[in-house]
Structure 1
Amino acid sequence: MAFETLKKDLVDVDADMRSYLETSEEYYKLKLFKVLMASVTTLAQSLIIGAVLFLALSMISLGISLALNEAMESFYSGFLIVGAFYIVVALIFYFFRRVLQRPLLQKFSKHYFDRP
């Protein structure tokens, strides 16, 4: 009789462990899905906003270049000045890339390690 009770308890423990493992596996799948979808939607939004801003910046740059060309009465000067400005901005971003890296890491870490 004691062996029957022990056997039943062991079978129940085995069933509970299997149920726990299956539930845990489903939880981690859902968690991974949540993290991936948050990343994909953030990336898609960033790409769309970035593309629109790129087009706007291109038009503004073209307008500034043409205005500088007229003001300086030279066809190439405005384009050279605007190009040099973008090179300076790129160099500033290059030298401060570590400062830009920290907020990005914190933002994505919050998405990844966020516990429900």
Structure 2
Amino acid sequence: MGKKKSCQDVKVPRPLDAVETRLYGWVEEAVLTQPSLVESDSLPEFRRNFPLMEDSGAEGDYVLEAAGPSDRVPFRVGEDGPHFLWVYQELFTHLRMRLPFSDFQRDVMARCRVAVSRCI
């Protein structure tokens, strides 16, 4: 998606703080240190080519943003934070999943104890 970043353009995510280490210490280091390769200017094209909502009329009901340099896929919403969900683009491009997830998709992920961000 979009142009490839050069090594000089890539910002390495900051190290985990103490709370994050407690919450996310189980996550493979490569996942925590790999910055997103998706650029914000490529998101409109992605949205046109890969609608994320099952109901096409609901396509404007969400905000699509690229992960920032300090954002990591396993991060979860804080109790008082906004609702969000980090996912790999392959969830929609290769697996062709759509939001909201069906009862079957949710049941399979729950049974396998897999977060949607870990599906790829």
What TM-score range do you get, normalising by the shorter chain? under 0.3
Over alpha carbons, which structure has the higher Rg?
1
TM-score by length of 2: 0.19
TM-score by length of 1: 0.20
Q: Pick the structure with more helix per residue.
A: 1
